[in-house]
Amino acid sequence: MDQLMDTQAPVSQDQDQLRLLTEMVQQLLRERENNQGPGDPYITSRMPVTDLLAYQELTEALPSIEEDFFKSPLTEEERKMAIHSCPKNSA
């Protein structure tokens, strides 16, 4: 009989903890819904801008990584010449 009561006590405690945690999660979800309020359907949120920094070993291995990656290596005149020298499709 004592063994039966010993096994029932932890199960009861687990169920109580589960019930408590479930109630807490439901309360947090309700609070989140209340805080959102009616939003404008034409406004969307964006992720914040994140700056990525290269670690020291990478910059030592590739020193060019610190240069402006998106900078065009061609001058404006060279770029125009490259674009206009390609034949256009006439299909």
- Per-residue pLDDT in tens (0 to 9) along the chain, 91 residues: 455 555 556 778 888 999 999 999 999 998 887 776 566 778 777 888 888 788 889 888 888 777 776 776 788 898 888 888 887 766 6
* In the chain, domain spans: 11-85
What is the distance between the alpha carbons of residues 5 and 16, in angstroms, rounded to a whole number?
16
Distance CA 15, CA 50 (A): 43
